[in-house]
Amino acid sequence: MSKYDIIVLGSGPGGYVTAIRASQLGFKTAIVEKESLGGVCLNWGCIPTKALLKSAQVFEYLKHANDYGLSVKDFDKDFDAVVKRSRGVADGMSKGIEFLMKKNKIDVIKGYGKLKPGKKIDVDGTVYSADHIIVATGARSRELPSLPQDGKKVIGYREAMTLPTQPKKMIVVGSGAIGVEFAYFYNSMGTDVTIVEFLPNVVPVEDEEVSKQLERSFKKSGIKIMTSAEVTHVDTSGDGVKATVKTKKGEEIIEADIVLSAVGIKTNIENIGLEDVGIAVDRDKILVNDYYQTNIPGYYAIGDVTPGQALAHVASAEGILCVEKIAGQHVEPLDYGNIPGCTYCSPEVASVGLTEKQAKEKGFDIKVGKFPFSASGKASAGGNKEGFVKVIFDAKYGEWLGCHMIGAGVTDMIAEAVLGRKLETTGHEVLKAVHPHPTMSEAVMEAVADAYDEVIHL
């Protein structure tokens, strides 16, 4: 029986990063994967979807070439080629993880892993042991009883990335990151898209002003939006799909070629041996302490299977912290209140910290600043004037409570707020940090200036 210091079950952005950090720390490490290295993120999630969205963005530029003084004739999209490019990007990234495994001398064990008592793991009949076993099996598309997925007419995100033909009409159920990203992609490609959201606002975890701006932008681009609405039944017996949607006004039937179910995720914790080992689970999540130890010594869990935010960068951070603690390093628990969230539709959405509503509910006396990209020279020059940056500060101490952005490229800008909050930066310090001109990032400084009644360009 092969013996390791650490075995990681699952090779997504939590698992493979954990394995690499473990190897760097001198542990003899193995990783178990039943499909492709990189997990959902690299193969069916974060990376290939961004490739699709880039194609959509380029296509949008071509459609609006006249706005930039350019004349482009006889252009069209090739849906098959767009999908093929996306898969090529994913394959390249997965091969990159294979290289990293070899570089870091990590053994890759291909097959289905199942935990066993005594710090062992069975991979298709072969048993391996380790001093520490880390579960990083991730999650998959969640299915609603009223919306069973058949993979053809009612699909999840995997099928949405590799459809053989582009649908003429699509219903997207759910308006979280997955829902709005695919809604933007297919709408840009020419599909008639309707979003159905159960809650009153699209991207419901975001600040309300951001939600309303995205709804305006989407409607302007031709996406139909139904909020406070629920799909109660789907009829797939005909050529397409007939979805029964319940709204405040009553029921209506919407016809489409395909329904994309984007109503969240379901953790992959079934049939991996948790019960055999006695690992505690609550409401679809593995219970862990601040250092990702389960209730059974020697077994750990990170990423989507644990109660934290189900985000790739969270899984990576958890895995690094987990193995550094095993190595005896001094580590601080992850601050889940300072995790950035990014949505890559157009306009992009990015945020960190408290929304204005949350800050008020917590009893803070707040200063709020907002700077629209319509007043930004860089945004105007680039033809991307939609959106704004919004900042929230504690009026008493100047603590940066939250930052919310919607606009072009804001997912690359939010890190300033994350770092500023980590370093306990005050509003005045941000205001006095010179920002380069002309840039989109100036909007952060200008929004802070607005909060403190010192805004110049508004």
Catalytic residues, which ones? 437
Contact 55, 86 (CB under 8 A): yes
Distance (Å, whole) CA 235 – CA 230: 15
> Residue 2 class from Cβ within 10 Å (0-12 exposed, 13-18 middle, 19+ buried)?
middle
Q: In 3D, which of 123, 163, 147, 156 has the Cα closest to residue 34? A: 123
At 415, the amino acid letter reads: A
Q: Which two tokens stand for residue 108?
A: 């890759």
At 153, the amino acid letter reads: K
Contact 7, 128 (CB under 8 A): yes
The residues near 71 (Cβ < 8 Å, ≥ 6 apart) are: 65
Residue carrying the six token digits 């007043």: 375
Contact 174, 243 (CB under 8 A): no
Distance (Å, whole) CA 38 – CA 45: 10
Q: What angle do CA 49, 55, 57 make, to 5 degrees?
A: 100
Distance (Å, whole) CA 456 – CA 458: 6
Distance (Å, whole) CA 20 – CA 103: 9
Contact 421, 438 (CB under 8 A): no
Contact 369, 443 (CB under 8 A): no
Strands (E), 94-145: 107-110, 113-116, 120-123, 126-135, 139-141
Query: Cis ω on the peptide bond leading into residue 297 (within 30° of 0)?
Result: no
Strands (E), 268-324: 281-282, 285-286, 299-301
Residue 16 CA to its chain's centroid (Å)? 18
Contact 233, 143 (CB under 8 A): no
Give the Å distances, CA to CA, from 374 to 221, 235, 387.
Answer: 18, 44, 8
> Residue 24 class from Cβ within 10 Å (0-12 exposed, 13-18 middle, 19+ buried)?
middle
The residues near 141 (Cβ < 8 Å, ≥ 6 apart) are: 149, 156, 157, 158, 261, 262, 265, 266
